Amino acid sequence: MASLRLTLPLLLAISSFYHSSRVGAVGVNWGAAASHPLPPPKVVELLKSNNVTKVKLFDSDPLVLQALSGSNIYVTVGIPNSMLRSLNSSKKAAESWVHDNLTRYFPNGGSGVRIEYIAVGDEPFLQSYGDQFHPFVIGAAINIQAALTGANLANKVKVVVPCSSDTFEPESGLPSKGNFRPDINKTMIELLTFLNKHHSPFFTNISPFLSYHQNKNISLDFALFKETAHPRNDSHKTYKNSFDLSYDIIVTALSTAGFPEMEIVIGQIGWPTDGAPNATPSIAETFMKGLMDHLHSKSGTPLRPHNTPTEIYIFSLLDEDQRSIVTGNFERHWGIFTFDGQAKYRVDFGRGSTNLVNAQNVEYLASKWCVVNNNMDLSNATASALEACSVADCSALSPGGSCFNITWPGNVSYAFNSYYQQHNQRANSCDFGGMGLITTVDPSLKNCRFSVGLQTSLSSSLRGSFLFHWIVLLLATFSFSSLSH
């Protein structure tokens, strides 16, 4: 695919943070929930070519950390939620984790990985998790901090805990009512006390898209920073966009808990480009431009005027076709880039913007696709499409998605091809009881892209089935059978 040079902001000087080596910036989240991920060295090349100076990971994959070694990119490594219980109960487990995932990668007079944060858990206070993780967060953070001290890294690496947007009590959705949820309020005060003691920032996620998607009181214009948006008033303060509203809810919650001056880092913020109404590249472009213009203006928020967030991490660098779609099918389309490193949209960010180039020399599988064989009996096409979508990514077929409007049997072909590419174009993965046909003619239609997989893939270990979800989704939004006549 030809290289396309685009503009995107990936470096924004805001303010010094803690000490002179930490400069406020816009970084990116680099997730790993993909069946065909770009090879880590290729992703690091993509980051470096675009002057990305900070990246946030969700784990500590050795291949990723090795690729980041010597890159001079500041890194946040993640500890999965599944590890919190053991790290909470065992200091030795924490010491082993620090040794295996930090010490051996840290610069020692030469090149290494510039790790600046350890993220303990990934949104462990998410309300849907219940008590599954949050009882272990504080103990795990304390043990990791002790292990850092033992490894003489406590003055170089900060321990943080990324918090979800539902960590806060929604009530009326107004900043003056900002509080932590009652079920975790005690834990949050313990966390803030820990963070304050060690001069660590409060990591939290803000999602204007979810606020708009789930709240009828939030208009699209309000979420997109548009001047035409109807402002909202709260305690003699005027809010002109969803970001300021969400940010000041956090500020109030911190103040109410006794930490009014705590630094805030936005760990995730972005706008999806597919899988739901108003999740498109053009709207994502509008949101990103509005966000960056707002940050560049340094106007701050009503409760923190002229005080922009210390750091912001865009969610996300790349699309991930194996992300959970419990919240919505848009979850697999947060990327600034497609799964193969191709930028989705163009934005002029003015001063501070940098030229962004796509991933170079991407190695694809052969130019082959799996489509419906129109010469066969297609009476079982519905069942076969559902089976394909139970493991492959069919999120673009959902209402509002880029492939929602393609008609039968094109939508069946999309499902077949998604399954075929995820299984590395194995011939038997395009069988579907004789209904599948391998073609070298690209079946893509308008904005609906029929992808070709990458040569380097981890698809041999496919994730769990989403069959039930897809049965409900597809039967509700499509009528394969009725359209076949």
Residues taking part in catalysis: 123
> From CA 462, how far away is CA 460, in angstroms rounded?
6
Q: Which two tokens stand for residue 200?
A: 């660590």
> From CA 385, how far away is CA 414, in angstroms rounded?
9
Q: Which two tokens stand for residue 195?
A: 């963070």
8-state DSSP, 218: S
CB 135 within 8 Å of CB 99:
no
> From CA 183, how far away is CA 169, in angstroms rounded?
10
Q: How many Cβ atoms from other residues are within 10 Å of residue 116's Cβ?
A: 19
CB 430 within 8 Å of CB 370:
yes
The amino acid occupying position 230 is H
**H or E segment at 375?**
none
Q: Which two tokens stand for residue 176?
A: 């003056």
Q: Which two tokens stand for residue 148?
A: 């850092």
> From CA 258, how far away is CA 192, in angstroms rounded?
9
Q: Distance from first CA to last CA of the chain, Å, rounded?
A: 38
For tokens 């590249």, the residue is 281
